[in-house]
């Protein structure tokens, strides 16, 4: 179970992917297929892994609308 991380959702709309095919893309804009690949292969360790795993769960459960106010804010 993931523990609560203050600012985690805000990070998803502000932080860019630091490497790979989608380097420079905001984490919230990563395609679900890329997040599914990480889910199969393993998420990176640390904060980035937590961010990617959280974004995967948000997209998997159709909750992207929760990020809209943060994108607009």
Q: Is 3 part of any domain? A: no
User: What are 9-54's pLDDT values in tens digits?
Assistant: 999 999 999 999 999 999 999 999 999 999 999 999 999 999 999 9
- Say if residues 30 and 17 touch (Cβ distance below 8 Å): yes
Q: Is 1 part of any domain? A: no
Q: Is 31 part of any domain? A: yes
Residue 4 has pLDDT above 80, yes or no: no
User: Which H, E and C letters describe 10-56, residue by residue?
Assistant: HHHHHCECCCCCCCCCEHHHCCHHHHHHHHHHCCCCHHHHHHHHHHH
Q: Is 2 part of any domain? A: no
CA atoms of 25 and 4, how far apart (whole Å): 24
Q: Which residue, among 15, 45, 8, 47, has the nearest Cα to 30 in the 3D structure?
A: 15
Number of domains within the chain: 1
Beta bridge partners of residue 16, listed in sequence order: 26
The pLDDT of residue 6 is 67
Structural domain harbouring 32: 8-15+23-72
The pLDDT of residue 72 is 85
Q: Is 29 part of any domain? A: yes
């Amino acid at each position: 179970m993931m523990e609560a991380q203050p600012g985690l959702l805000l990070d998803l709309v502000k932080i860019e992917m630091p490497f790979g095919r989608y380097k420079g893309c905001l984490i919230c804009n990563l395609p679900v297929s890329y997040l599914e690949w990480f889910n199969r292969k393993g998420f990176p360790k640390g904060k980035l892994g937590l961010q990617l795993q959280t974004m995967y769960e948000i997209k998997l459960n159709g909750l992207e609308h929760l990020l809209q106010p943060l994108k607009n804010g």
